[in-house]
């Protein structure tokens, strides 16, 4: 798909002949038009630039199943899928979409990353087929907030399991030399069995990409999840994603509270450079808050890696399974 990005960046207007030529080009992730069905009457949500349909169907083997040839991907055939369809397709939108496609091709398959099953060209626009998920993490924790008065406690082991899975997925992404740059609860999808899957790679970049040290922050980046070095110096790395993981932890243990609700960009930069950080959320123990603070160290080198975070949450999860210490955190 890189050739399409190059065309868009060059602001080249595609003729009908060129469009047909693009349709004729095939790589290992292309879905033939006749093998993808979209149920347009079942939209899941409308974004500013695309619509996600919660039900589509791939006939035969998906390109992911064919290209990886892994046992874990072979069920992605004759299967239901989610489909992202662009509604706006200018140069900015196309670059973001193809960045996502290119990143997910590099990632391939991991059980804690939402799978891109293939790409199909419909009406001169690329649509992307993903594996299905049940809900996003932000929606889930906000639902818990609304219903918590009906229960005396909640199982925080679910939280620990989700965070462990996210750390494992981010460890894999980092191993591919990819920086996500938009890690937040809204971009973590959950299956009905609470398998966590990292999604939305439209703002990602490679470690060897010049975007890691930019003259200005892309307007689409969510500044309240950005690390202090990204805000001040426009520098991105795995450790800037670790900072965002700390903010994601805050979202989880505050049941979806917006971070820094009263701070704009300038005030946020001053707040953080002065050494201030988010407070301890209501459902977090001191141990959990200490992990957040480790993720928010001013020096990126002082923050843990995702490998370390995965090990830490694995140990916490094992400890929580053996005791009831974490089973009544909802009591006020």
Residue 332 burial by CB count (10 A; 0-12/13-18/19+): exposed, middle or buried?
Answer: exposed
Under a CB-based contact definition with an 8 Å cutoff, are residues 295 and 246 in contact? yes
Q: How many CB atoms lie within 10 A of CB 209?
A: 15
Question: What strand order describes the sheet that includes 196-198?
Answer: 135-136, 188-190, 196-198
Distance CA 234, CA 220 (A): 14
Residues 81, 65, 5, CA angle at the centre, nearest 5°? Answer: 75
Please, which residues bridge with residue 113 across strands?
Answer: 198
Q: Where are the alpha helices (DSSP H) in 122-188?
A: 137-147, 156-175
Give yes or no: 200 in active site. no
Q: Sort strands 196-198 and 135-136 into parallel, antiparallel or unpaired.
A: unpaired
For tokens 């009908």, what's the residue?
Answer: 16
Q: Alpha-carbon torsion 101, 102, 108, 113, what sign?
A: negative
DSSP string, 320-331: HHH-STTS-TT-
Strand ranges inside the chain, DSSP E: 36-38, 43-46, 50-61, 77-86, 116-122, 125-130, 135-136, 178-179, 188-190, 196-198, 205-206
Q: Alpha-carbon torsion 226, 230, 234, 235, what sign?
A: negative
Q: Which position among 27, 78, 123, 182 bears the catalytic label?
A: 182
Phi/psi of residue 283, nearest 5 degrees: -100, 5
Q: Which positions are catalytic?
A: 182
């Amino acid at each position: 798909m890189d050739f399409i990005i190059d065309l868009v960046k060059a602001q080249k207007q595609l003729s009908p002949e060129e469009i047909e030529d693009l349709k004729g080009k095939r790589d290992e992730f292309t879905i033939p038009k006749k093998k993808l069905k979209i149920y347009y009457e079942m939209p899941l949500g409308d974004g500013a630039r695309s619509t996600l349909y919660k039900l589509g169907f791939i006939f035969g083997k998906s390109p992911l199943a064919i290209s990886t040839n892994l046992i874990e991907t072979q069920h992605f055939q004759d299967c239901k899928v989610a489909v992202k369809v662009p509604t706006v397709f200018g140069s900015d939108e196309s670059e973001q979409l193809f960045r996502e496609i290119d990143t997910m091709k590099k990632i391939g398959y991991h059980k804690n990353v939402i799978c891109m099953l293939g790409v199909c060209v419909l009406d001169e626009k690329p649509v992307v087929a993903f594996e299905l998920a049940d809900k996003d993490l932000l929606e889930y924790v906000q639902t818990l907030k609304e219903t918590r008065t009906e229960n005396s406690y909640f199982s925080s082991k679910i939280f620990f399991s989700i965070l462990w899975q996210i750390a494992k997925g981010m460890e894999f992404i980092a191993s591919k030399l990819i920086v996500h740059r938009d890690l937040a609860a809204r971009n973590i999808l959950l299956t009905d069995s609470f398998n966590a899957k990292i999604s939305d790679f439209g703002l990602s970049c490679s470690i060897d990409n010049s975007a890691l040290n930019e003259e200005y922050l892309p307007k689409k980046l969510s500044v309240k999840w950005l690390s202090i070095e990204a805000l001040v110096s426009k520098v991105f790395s795995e450790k800037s994603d670790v900072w965002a993981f700390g903010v994601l932890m805050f979202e989880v243990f505050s049941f979806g509270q917006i971070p820094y609700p009263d701070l704009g960009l300038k005030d946020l930069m001053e707040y953080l450079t002065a050494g201030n950080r988010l407070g301890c959320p209501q459902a977090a123990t001191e141990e959990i808050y200490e992990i957040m603070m480790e993720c928010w160290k001013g020096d990126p080198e002082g923050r843990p890696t995702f490998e370390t975070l995965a090990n830490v949450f694995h140990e916490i999860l094992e400890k929580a399974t053996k005791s009831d210490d974490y089973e009544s955190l909802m009591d006020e």
